[in-house]
């Protein structure tokens, strides 16, 4: 049976709050099996197909995508305090020019133009912890065996906070997430949307080590995933990757790469959008750059003698993309942008995977 192509989607013309309240109802569909034996950081799963932090705003969105062939469901990043979302646009379609460089520049798509990439600008909103804890419990009970709930967390540093204070804020969220029912936790160590100390934790080995260590302790037996951004595109990046892996060795069950590629966004007349600040780009345009990060992290882990599971994220959309990343040593693959644009994508991937053998 071909997958349906009229499934409801996130509405990018409406606010984060509107979309939070209007998650689609989960359809009852038959899910083609994904052959093989799979686990997510040691937890048995039916496939390596997942959604990274972002598209799943709450338990109802998790229920929706869990019914559409995704088995590793990541709850969008939460904080130790409530935080509103940025104003619209939160998702601005951009023209796909291969975004090779970290400090790239992209043009907004014109109205009606087909697109497969966008600038992401949410500012990592969060509900109050009491609200998200109840909802994490609801998300957990919505999943079946063979599916795993990951909760993504970040810190909300005040100006002047020390590294141990930032690490403690991450760990607080980790503890609350696990108490609420998270089977694994992810630390968002990179967010190019927020110009503050938390933006670049992964580029500081000391901050990464402290944060991972405190969070690992808070997580108990739940696996801890570290989500990172792109390291430097030149030779300096190789040193950064090794330093990062050495710093977090023993405190991480996996590293997830890559959390968007930041770029300046220009309007149709060449004007700066988002006040000239860079935004994270997601979608097909970042695919090659993110795949390169995966390969380079793999090489860095071999050079440093630190084996670590790697989760591939960024511009993944087809069975060929998935095959290539698994062949390159990825432990799991996660799809954000394409899953929002085409909610049936995992059903399509499973069907083609089975047809091609």
Ligand X SMILES: Cc1cc2nc3c(=O)[nH]c(=O)nc-3n(C[C@H](O)[C@H](O)[C@H](O)COP(=O)(O)O)c2cc1C
CB nearer ligand X, residue 45 or residue 91: 91
CB nearer ligand X, residue 91 or residue 344: 91
| Least distance (Å) between residue 305 CB and ligand X | 28
Q: Which stretch binds ligand X (CB under 6 A): 96-104, 161-169, 170-178, 331-339?
A: 331-339
Q: x/- contact string, 79-118, with ligand X (CB under 6 A)?
A: ------------x---------------------------
- Quick check: 55 binds ligand X (CB under 6 A)? yes
Please name which of 134, 8, 33 lies closest in space to residue 75, comparing C-alpha atoms. 134
| Least distance (Å) between residue 229 CB and ligand X | 9
CB nearer ligand X, residue 15 or residue 304: 15
DSSP state of 26: P
Q: Which stretch binds ligand X (CB under 6 A): 38-46, 247-255, 278-286, 304-312?
A: 278-286
Q: x/- contact string, 154-183, with ligand X (CB under 6 A)?
A: ------------------------------
- Quick check: 240 binds ligand X (CB under 6 A)? no
| Least distance (Å) between residue 45 CB and ligand X | 18
- Quick check: 219 binds ligand X (CB under 6 A)? no
CB nearer ligand X, residue 144 or residue 211: 211
> Cα dihedral sign for 92, 121, 324, 36?
negative
- Quick check: 229 binds ligand X (CB under 6 A)? no
| Least distance (Å) between residue 259 CB and ligand X | 4
3-state secondary structure at position 245 = helix
- Quick check: 335 binds ligand X (CB under 6 A)? yes
- Quick check: 48 binds ligand X (CB under 6 A)? no
Name which position in 148, 184, 286, 344 contacts ligand X (CB under 6 A). Answer: 286
- Quick check: 325 binds ligand X (CB under 6 A)? no
Residue nearest to ligand X (CB): 54
Q: How is residue 348 written in tokens?
A: 């399509």
CB nearer ligand X, residue 123 or residue 205: 123
Q: Which stretch binds ligand X (CB under 6 A): 99-107, 128-136, 195-203, 310-318?
A: 310-318
Q: Which stretch binds ligand X (CB under 6 A): 161-169, 237-245, 279-287, 299-307?
A: 279-287
Name which position in 54, 104, 223, 343 contacts ligand X (CB under 6 A). Answer: 54
Q: How is residue 291 written in tokens?
A: 């795949």
Judge contact between 56 and 74, C-beta under 8 A. yes
> Judged by CB under 6 A, how many residues of this single chain contact ligand X?
26
Give the per-residue SS3 of the chain: CCCCCCCCCCCCCCCHHHHHHCCCCCCCCCCCCCCCCEEECCEEECCCEEECCCCCCCHHHHHHHHCCCCCEEEEEEECCCCECCCCCCCEEEECCCCCCCCCEEEEECCCCCCCCEEEECCCCCECCHHHHHHHHHHHHHHCCCCCEEEEEECCCCCCCCCHHHHHHHHHHHHHHHHHHCCCEEEEECCCCCCCCHHHHHHHCHHHHHHHHHHHHHHHCCCCEEEEECCCCCCHHHHHHHHHHHHHHCCCCCEEEECCCEEEEEECCCCCECHHHCCEEEEEHHHHHHHHHHHHHHHHHHHHHCCCCEEEEECCCCCHHHHHHHHHCCCCEEECCHHHHHCCCHHHHHHHHHHHHC
Query: What dihedral do alpha carbons 105, 109, 115, 121 form, nearest 10°?
Result: 60
Name which position in 58, 80, 188, 204 contacts ligand X (CB under 6 A). Answer: 188
CA distance 67 to 57: 16
Q: Which stretch binds ligand X (CB under 6 A): 50-58, 102-110, 215-223, 348-356?
A: 50-58
Q: Which residues would be at the binding site for ligand X (CB under 6 A)?
A: 52-55, 76-77, 91, 120, 122, 124, 152, 188, 227, 259-260, 282-283, 286, 313-316, 335-338
């Amino acid at each position: 049976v071909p997958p349906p192509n009229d499934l409801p989607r996130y509405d990018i013309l409406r606010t984060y709050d509107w979309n939070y309240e209007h998650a689609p109802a989960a359809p009852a569909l038959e899910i083609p099996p994904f052959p093989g034996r799979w686990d997510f950081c040691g937890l048995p799963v039916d496939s390596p197909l997942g959604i990274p932090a972002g598209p799943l705003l709450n338990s109802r969105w998790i229920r929706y995508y869990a019914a559409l062939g995704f088995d590793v469901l990541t709850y969008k990043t939460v904080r130790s305090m409530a935080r509103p979302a940025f104003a619209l646009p939160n998702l601005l379609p951009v023209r796909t020019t291969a975004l090779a460089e970290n400090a790239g520049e992209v043009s907004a798509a014109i109205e009606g133009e087909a697109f497969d990439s966008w600038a992401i600008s949410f500012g990592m909103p969060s509900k109050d912890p009491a609200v998200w804890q109840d909802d994490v419990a609801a998300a957990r009970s919505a999943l079946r065996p063979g599916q795993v709930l990951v909760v993504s967390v970040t810190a909300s540093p005040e100006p002047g906070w020390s590294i141990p204070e930032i690490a403690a804020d991450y760990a607080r969220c980790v503890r609350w997430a696990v108490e609420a029912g998270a089977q694994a936790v992810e630390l968002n160590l990179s967010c190019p949307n927020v110009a503050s100390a938390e933006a670049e934790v992964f580029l500081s080995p000391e901050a990464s080590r402290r944060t991972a260590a405190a969070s690992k302790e808070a997580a108990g037996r739940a696996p801890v995933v570290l989500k990172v951004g792109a390291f430097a595109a030149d030779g300096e990046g190789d040193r950064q990757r090794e330093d990062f892996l050495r710093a977090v060795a023993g405190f991480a069950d996996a590293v997830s790469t890559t959390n968007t590629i930041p770029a300046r966004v220009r309007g149709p007349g060449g004007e700066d959008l988002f006040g000239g600040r860079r935004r994270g780009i997601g979608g097909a345009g970042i695919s090659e750059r993110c795949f390169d990060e995966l390969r380079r992290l793999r090489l860095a882990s071999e050079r440093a003698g630190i084996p670590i599971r790697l989760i591939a994220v960024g511009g993944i959309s087809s069975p060929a993309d998935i095959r290539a990343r698994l062949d390159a040593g990825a432990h799991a693959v996660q799809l954000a942008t394409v899953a929002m644009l085409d909610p049936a994508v995992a059903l399509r991937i499973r069907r083609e995977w089975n047809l091609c053998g």
